[in-house]
Each structure stands twice: as C-alpha cells, then as structure tokens.
Chains A and B, each alone.
Chain A
C-alpha cells in the first residue's frame, strides 16, 4: 500500500511551501485520519509532504487578547497547556473527547481543521470562538475567519499550495462562558452523533450574545445563526429554553447514517442547547 510512495520531510515552512508550489504532494501531519484511509487503500496519493518536523508550526502563545495555536499542536498539547485551560476551556474539553490517548498524542488541531470532517470534535469550538486561521504559501500569509473556511462537504477555502499555519482564538473573558458537549456511543473512540460548543456573554440571566457551533448535523460544522439571534439580548426563561430547543432542532440539517438518525440528531441537538441554557440559569441563581 505504501511501497512506491515518496515523502518529503522538510524542517522549515519555506521548504514546505516550495514543495507545495510545484508538486501535488498530500500533506500529512499526525496521520490519525490520513493513515486510516491509507490502510484501507482509500487514499489516492503516492507523494507526501510530511510536516511533522516543522517546528515553526508548533507552540501555543499568549498574544494579549488572543491565543495563537500552531497548527501542529496536538490534542495532548492543548489539554496540558495552562493558557488553553484558562482562556479556552471548551477546547480542552473537546480535546479530551477526541479518540483516546494514542490519538490525542498524534492528532493535531490543524489536521482536524484541514481534514474537514463535519464531525471534527474541535471544530464547533473554533466556530463558537470565532477563531481566525493563518494560512501560508510561497505567495505569503493570509488570514481567514474560521467560519468562512468550509465551502461544502469536505471542501475548504485552502488552495493547493497552501498550509494552515496557526489558529487564533480570542481569550475567554471573565464575563463570558463557554460550553462543550459531544454525544456519541461511548466516551472514548466514538465519532459524534451531534457535537456542540457555545460561547456566550451573560449577565444575571440575560444573554447579551451567544455563539453556537454544531457538528455532525450538516455537511460542514456550522454556526446556528438563527437560534443565536433568537436568544440575543433575552432573559432566559423556561419558555425561551423551549423556543431555543425548537429553533436549533429545525435549523440544523442532519442526515441518517450508520451513527445516528436525522430525528435523533435534531432532538438531541435541541436538548444539548437546552442543557447549556439551564446551566446558565442554575449558575446565575435565577432558577426555572
């Protein structure tokens, strides 16, 4: 399966950009998605660009209002990072739900993004956080809102000669909160039936604003913009929780596949959002 394949393993981004500018090499990072396809002989590629040793793609840095996360940060790196724990807790929660330790040690945030699965566990968090991607090529660097990155099922705005270099996520502020919930068959190793991340600013029981990212319920990870608008500026009451549950159930567009059914996904996505809203009420002491 891999007998005739070749691989470039550059140590610098410039070398990697150069290789991408004149070959059709398939990029491999931690390999946790790509190698599965290769083992199943479903990967039509013989030339690879192995970016695992490019140190410029590693590291997690505090840049004031935001955190800059290198594309090669593994889930284990994210789980162990004190600044991710403090300023992006939903990203830690998501990373802990990816596969199991073996996958968390190799799978990368950049790989999750570029693999473009609608079920990628970290992606609803990046959607809810309004993350920004730094994308590089020999032509230079550009920035793109994460929420504009996916153009269709497994399709992205990445050009053939480009790499995702880093991800910027705004730090969670003291008056904001986040939330992550993945629903799967079991806690470890399962691919989600529905997965949601939320970031919101609340004061007492008033939701100033809310951003909801959901996965496994549409061709790409999506934001629930309609439901967000319904909730913005409102006091959370039992009635509003029911409206939100209904709204997001109708807003998502899931399919029935081997992991779950359309009906289950609509219903449980609504329930998960309701759970978040009730948590806000409980923690703000308003009661319902």
Chain B
C-alpha cells in the first residue's frame, strides 16, 4: 500500500503493508532512527512522535492511519542548523544520561509547549507522565523543559 505523508516538513511516500507500525516505517524505511523503541506497548513513550499536532506512541499506530498526516520526529526539531530551545536546554541542564528516552521526552515536551508556552511544573510533569526515564530521576528533564519555556 502506497502511503503519502509529510515528515519534518518534507513530503514522503512509502510502500508498506497497512498494519505495519509507524515506528518501523520511520526507522526502517525512512532511516529516521532518532525515534526509539522501548517497550512496544505504549508504556514508555520512547517512540513518541507528533502527528497532526498531537503526541502519540508510534508503536501503537498502524501506518495506514497516517496517510496524509503531518508528522514531526526528533530529527525535525532542529531548524536551519540550530537546535530547538528544548534540545539546547536539555544539554545545558543535563537532561539526558543514556539517551534512550530523550527523543520521546523532547517530542512530548515540544507537543506541550506548542499548545502551552508557559506551563507550570505540574503541567510539565503531566505532559511527560507517559515517558519513562530510568537514569535522571526526571528533575533535570523538568528543569530543562521549564528553562526552554522561559527562554525560548
């Protein structure tokens, strides 16, 4: 099945079985390996991408449901060679250790800031509640998101 969508502002077409996971199409067909697979069951958020403005788990979405969609992956955050303010803040605050959760954290945080540019700490916690990190203890990640919101 031929499926056309827009990924990181570029129109792409893939030929894939319809029920294949968006995650696999991104990583295997489009070589966008920034999006990670953690649990494969919607618990960890490592595979988070933004589809039509909403953050979703790409391991739970069959690619046929994304025809015509606009998708943002972690590769689409930096623009014109400049890091997204979130990426810069994660660097400065030490918001990453092993890095497996980081793309999903950045994407979940981006989806939050796109609809709420000045979130409270509680709103940040709620926005990343579906993203598990086993290294940082979350404090530095929340600090980074807060910093990016204050200093975009």
Contact = CB atoms under 8 A, between A and B. Distances in A.
B17 A103 contact: no
Contacts of A31: 60-62, 65
Interface string B40-64: 1111010010000011110111101
A53 to B, nearest CB: 8
A72 to B, nearest CB: 12
Interface string A1-19: 0111111010000000000
Contacts of A276: none
Contacts of B48: 102
B135 interface: no
Contact of B54 (A6, A50, A76): A76
Interface residues of A, number: 30
Given A9-B64, A189-B129, A32 B19 contact: no
A249 B56 CA distance: 38
A48 B43 CA distance: 24
Interface string A99-115: 11111011000000000
Given A31-B61, A35-B62, A103-B57, A187 B17 contact: no
A188 B132 CA distance: 11
B126 interface: yes
Contacts of A48: 18-19, 62
Nearest to A29: B65
Contacts of B111: 101
A135 to B, nearest CB: 23
**Most chain-B CB neighbours within 10 Å: which of A39, A52, A101?**
A101
A206 to B, nearest CB: 37
Given A7-B62, A9-B64, A105-B54, A39 B21 contact: yes
Contacts of A76: 54
Interface residues of B, number: 30
Interface in A44-73: 48, 50, 52-53
Given A28-B62, A35-B59, A36-B42, A102 B130 contact: yes
Nearest to B67: A9
A99 B48 CA distance: 14
Interface in B60-87: 60-62, 64-65, 67
Nearest to B23: A39
B11 interface: no
B127 interface: yes
Interface of A: 2-7, 9, 28, 31-32, 35-36, 38-40, 48, 50, 52-53, 76, 99-103, 105-106, 187-189
Given A32-B57, A35-B21, 8 more contacts: A39-B59, A39-B60, A53-B65, A101-B127, A102-B55, A102-B60, A106-B60, A189-B129
9 nearest interchain CB pairs? Answer: A100-B130, A188-B129, A7-B18, A2-B19, A35-B60, A5-B19, A105-B54, A100-B129, A36-B41
30 contacts: A2-B17, A2-B21, A2-B62, A3-B20, A5-B18, A6-B18, A9-B64, A9-B67, A31-B65, A32-B42, A32-B60, A35-B59, A35-B61, A36-B42, A36-B60, A39-B21, A39-B60, A40-B41, A50-B62, A52-B65, A101-B111, A102-B48, A102-B56, A102-B60, A103-B42, A103-B57, A106-B57, A187-B129, A188-B130, A189-B43
